Amino acid sequence: MAVTTLDPNTALVVIDLQRGIASLPTVPHSGPEVVANAVELADAFRARKAPVVLVRVSTAPDGSDAAPGRTDGGAQPKGATRPEGWDVIVDELSGHDEDIVVTKRNWGAFFGTDLDLQLRRRGVTQIVLAGIATSIGVESTARAAHEHGYHVTLATDAMADGSEDAHDNSIQRIFPRLGETGTTAEIVELLAASHD
């Protein structure tokens, strides 16, 4: 089902489009394709004075702020370091003083951050989500947004994953239960119509 409407107070929330993640190999869209579509969305939101939230993930060098708990996938070794600039928002999206930047330590952008507070202070009732990875940061944030009572729209061509199966599962099975999906072009068109 396609996106049907955007509330008057809708924000764009872009997940983890930072140097160390946007440069990874992804499917079905490449990092540069996802960034280009996110830029198109961000420009459209900024032109209408609608909030743009850029979410980045960052962790302490010693791993002390990483989520505890055992996983089959393992964790980043304590003391492992990321390359310098790994957690810096990509140049194509940065440099706009009016944007809200949220730093998270977990998969989702709500837990342990001020994202909900930032949105509620601005009267936001709906969010449009984009970013990498579809099945991790985007899906986790979509689930929490839904649980927080926001209307959720997912820009399916402005997101990608390291696994096509994981991406497809989110798009086909999970997102229809959390909100509406649409392409960048459809969302931009709807945004323009709702602000005319």
Give the separation between CA 17 and CA 142, rounded to whole angstroms.
16
Rounded to an integer, what distance in angstroms lies between the CA atom of residue 41 and that of residue 187? 8
Residue 72 maps to a domain? no
In-domain check, residue 183: yes
Q: Is residue 87 part of a domain?
A: no
Rounded CA gap, 37 and 185, in Å? Answer: 9
The total of structural domains in the chain comes to: 1
The whole domain housing 167 covers: 1-57+120-196
Asked whether residue 16 is assigned to any structural domain, the reply reads yes
Residue 14 is part of a domain; what is its CATH number? 3.40.50.850
Report if residue 73 sits inside a domain.
no
Each residue's pLDDT, cut to its tens digit, for the chain (196 residues) gives 589 999 999 999 999 999 999 999 999 999 999 999 999 999 999 999 999 999 999 987 666 677 777 778 766 555 566 778 889 999 999 999 999 999 999 999 999 999 999 999 999 999 999 999 999 999 999 999 999 999 999 999 999 999 999 999 999 999 999 999 999 999 999 999 886 6
